[in-house]
Amino acid sequence: MNKSIFSKLLSSYIGIVLVAVTIVGSMQVYLVQNYLIKNKEQELVVRSQELSDIVKPFLLTNSDPRPVLLTVNRADRVLGTEAWIIDKDGKVIVASADHLYCVGNTLEEMDLDQLKSGKVSIRTGQTEYFKKAMIRTIAPIFDENQFIGGVILYSPVKGVNDTTKTMSKLYLGAALIGILISICIGFLLTKQITRPIKRVCEVTKSIADGKFDERVELKSKDELNVLASSINHMTKRLSEHEKMRRNFVANVSHELRSPLTSIQGYIDALIQGKGKDRQDENRYLQILQKETHRLIRLVNDLLEISQFDSQTATFDVDGFPLRSIVDRALTSLKIQLEGKHLTVNIDIPQNLPFCYGDEDRIEQVIYNLLDNAIRYSSHGGLIIIFATSLNEEVLVEITDFGQGIPPQDIPFIWDRFYRVDKARSRSEGGTGLGLAIVKGIVDKHGGQVLVKSRLGEGSKFSFTLKQSEPETET
């Protein structure tokens, strides 16, 4: 790919230079040639007018102008210019020594008409007599408005062509050097452009092969740099994702293994009749029930999380009163609450606007937060459930005065499987998915979660929810 971009860029660069040089060169040659010919024509016109003044007395007196002309022609011979004279009928009466045979020939009617009207005739091109390109000017001679003849001047175009040829050669030389230099510059420039592209390609290829530690480092500060930082960012995210996926699989297996091992152990014990009596067996069965519950909860939590990940979770959104779901969650947690002799203080205003969202899922949020508050509170403690309307949103806070969270753990408690005290949390049935699900649900609702906690003093978990139409709770 790089090779083709490189050759494409370089060849188009060279192509552009060549086209530009050719156009400029041919225009220059064409313009200079035209300019030189025009100049020469003007020069000849002036000269032929001068000559007509010299020749005029001879024509008037009918004397022979040949000697004068011959002198003139001899002088001009070096330049290749020669002068002829015509009479009033356009007949050549004097020609140069080389073209004496032309004496007696007459001008074309058209030229003659032009001369008679007082205009100088100018022509450039191939001529019958010279067998090469010539510039020809004819200046008319008048005597008291009477056309009496004219002076023809011939001069070869070759001189002009020689000049342009020399110029073209010089230009070609300069152009060649220019082309060579620009090809070199083009080569370096193209290399410079394609090198980072090549690097980006290499890196993306190794990323595709799973090497997430590769990074694109570019010196330039252009669009490619933006691309490079996007790729680096993407790689970082991919690598995090990959790490998270691996951790997740490891965690899930780990979490599944302990209840399963325990289940297996108790089943073995039951089969082998290890229980001493009916009471013992019952105890085993209760443990089996607890572990199975734990497994079912774990699987359900995992399913929920995987739905968030795959964006397949469906939300049944509507307005609902917060109080009713708080009551439902408290009812579900009644046994735990009573088991720890906890007091729950509910501070939800009567006129709190309805919340807007998926009622069942928000109930799960409150359930998970309350479950934590209960689990990490000490016996006889207090839990406060507070809600208020704030900036068009409903703010819910669940406060406990339990063990609290160490500051260094606070940033991670929303992560999957994160538990401050692994052994203790697990022994109490926790898997570290509760808060991850809370955050997942609140995020999907466009709300925010927040935690404030002090070790040994307690924790306050809060989240915000959209407010529904201005109906109020009754």
Q: Which of ligand ATP, Mg ion, none lies near 400, with the C-beta cut-off 5 to 8 A by kind?
A: ligand ATP
Q: At what angle do helices 2-60 and 158-208 cross, to 10 degrees?
A: 170
Q: Any idea what the Cα angle at residue 28 is, between residues 23 and 31, rounded to 5°?
A: 120
Q: How far is the CB of 361 from ligand ATP (least distance, A)?
A: 15
Q: Which of Mg ion, ligand ATP, none lies near 151, with the C-beta cut-off 5 to 8 A by kind?
A: none
Q: How far is the CB of 336 from ligand ATP (least distance, A)?
A: 12
Q: How far is the CB of 455 from ligand ATP (least distance, A)?
A: 9
CA torsion, ordered 251, 252, 255, 258, to nearest 10 deg: -110
Please give the C-alpha separations between residue 301 and each of 9, 141, 398, in angstroms, as whole numbers: 56, 117, 21
- Residue 56 parent element (H or E): helix 2-60
Please give the C-alpha separations between residue 84 and each of 96, 151, 239, 244, 406, in angstroms, as whole numbers: 7, 6, 96, 104, 118
Q: Which of ligand ATP, Mg ion, none lies near 186, with the C-beta cut-off 5 to 8 A by kind?
A: none
Which CB sits closer to ligand ATP, 233 or 293?
A: 293
Residue 96 near ligand ATP by CB under 6 A: no
Which CB sits closer to Mg ion, 45 or 366?
A: 366
Which CB sits closer to ligand ATP, 394 or 405?
A: 405
Instruction: Indicate the residue whose CB is closest to ligand ATP.
Output: 434
Q: 106, 87 in Cβ contact below 8 A? A: no
Residue 433 near ligand ATP by CB under 6 A: yes
Contacting ligand ATP within 449-468 (CB under 6 A):
459
Residue 385 near ligand ATP by CB under 6 A: no
Contacting ligand ATP within 393-432 (CB under 6 A):
400, 402-405, 413, 418-421, 425, 430-432
Long-range contacts of the stretch 138-146 (C-beta < 8 A, 24+):
138/48, 138/86, 138/107, 138/111, 139/45, 139/48, 139/49, 139/51, 139/52, 140/52, 140/115, 140/116, 141/52, 141/55, 141/56, 141/59, 142/118, 143/56, 143/59, 143/60, 146/88
CA distance 255 to 295: 9
| Of 44, 435, 441, 449, the one binding ligand ATP by CB under 6 A | 435
| Of 149, 434, 440, 447, the one binding ligand ATP by CB under 6 A | 434
Q: How far is the CB of 321 from Mg ion (least distance, A)?
A: 25
Please give the C-alpha separations between residue 112 and each of 135, 138, 173, in angstroms, as whole numbers: 17, 10, 47
Site map 97..136 versus ligand ATP, x via CB under 6 A: ----------------------------------------
Which CB sits closer to ligand ATP, 419 or 445?
A: 419
Residue 372 near ligand ATP by CB under 6 A: yes
Q: How far is the CB of 362 from ligand ATP (least distance, A)?
A: 16
Partner residues linked to 357 by β-bridges: 318
Please give the C-alpha separations between residue 50 and each of 13, 94, 151, 186, 471, in angstroms, as whole numbers: 55, 17, 9, 57, 111
The residue ranges that bind Mg ion (CB under 5 A) are 372, 434
CA distance 86 to 292: 130
Tokens of 363: 């109930």
Which CB sits closer to ligand ATP, 246 or 422?
A: 422
CA distance 218 to 220: 6
Instruction: Indicate the residue whose CB is closest to Mg ion.
Output: 434
- Residue 154 parent element (H or E): strand 146-156
Judged by CB under 6 A, the number of residues near ligand ATP is: 23
Which CB sits closer to ligand ATP, 202 or 309?
A: 309
Segment near ligand ATP (CB under 6 A); pick from 27-35, 215-223, 255-263, 372-380: 372-380
Which CB sits closer to Mg ion, 321 or 434?
A: 434
Which CB sits closer to ligand ATP, 187 or 417?
A: 417
Q: 368, 437 in Cβ contact below 8 A? A: yes
Single-letter amino acid, residue 81 = T
| Of 376, 439, 445, 465, the one binding ligand ATP by CB under 6 A | 376
Which CB sits closer to Mg ion, 82 or 291?
A: 291
Q: Which of ligand ATP, Mg ion, none lies near 87, with the C-beta cut-off 5 to 8 A by kind?
A: none
Q: How far is the CB of 304 from ligand ATP (least distance, A)?
A: 11
Residue 373 near ligand ATP by CB under 6 A: yes
CA distance 58 to 363: 128
Which residues here bind ligand ATP, judged by CB under 6 A?
368, 372-373, 376, 400, 402-405, 413, 418-421, 425, 430-436, 459
